[in-house]
Amino acid sequence: MSDELKIVGLLCNWCCYGGADTAGTARMQYPPNVRIIRVMCSGRINPSMIFKAFEEGADGVFVGGCHIGDCHYDAGNYKWSRRSKIVEDILEEFGIEKERFRHEWISASEGEKFQTTMDEFYKTLQKLGPLELK
């Protein structure tokens, strides 16, 4: 059953998407359950996107952005980071474990970090099982 786990990955164009690309070209194995959506900046992601993903059946949502200080648009990842705290708080109240929502700073060269992050996240979700919305 766990192979049907759905992960939505919202990745920033300049860093994490590049990281996923690096992992791919280097043929690093990571769980195929992640569906990647490229966004221009993690600062562009609003909480409704995360909620929409869960509503539509995602079992986990991952957000990847540039390391703090490296944002292509100066401060987008700071904004996302603050927003992510609100998202966590809200998810909790609706019975969605906060472990189902993860965000990480991954640069374009960190293919390996992308791989291990995905592995870890997948394992966490495996333990939690499919999400049942209230």
Partner 1 sequence: MSYVLAKSKNPDIQEAGECGGAVTSIFKYLLDENIVDGVLALSPGDDIYDGVPTFITDSEDLIKTAGSYHCAPTMFGDIIQKYLSDKKVAVSVKPCDIRSIDELIKRHKINPDNIFTVGLNCGGTVSPVTGRKMIELFYDINPDDVVSEEIDKGQFIVELADGTEKGVKIHELEHEGYGRRLNCQRCDVKIPRKANIACGNWGASDGWTFIEINDEKGEELIKGAQKAGILETKSPSQDAIDARLKVEGIMIKMAKKNQDVNYEKVSGIKEWDRCIRCCACRDVCPICWCYENCELNKSYFNASDVPPSPIAFQGIRLSHMSFSCCDCGQCDDVCPMDIPVSLIFDKLQKKYQDRTGYVAGVSDDVKPPLYSPAKEEL
Contacting residue, 7, 16, 45, 96, with partner 1 by CB under 8 A: 96
Contacts of 114 (CB under 8 A, 6+ apart): 16, 19, 20, 22, 23, 28, 30, 64, 106
- Least distance from partner 1 to the Cβ atom of residue 32, Å: 26
Stretches 10-18, 89-97, 111-119, 121-129: which one binds partner 1 (CB under 8 A)?
A: 89-97
Q: CA triplet 101, 103, 109: central angle to 5 degrees?
A: 145
Contacting residue, 32, 35, 95, 98, with partner 1 by CB under 8 A: 95
Binding positions for partner 1, rule: CB under 8 A: 46-48, 51-52, 54-55, 68, 75, 78-79, 81-83, 85-87, 89-96, 133-134
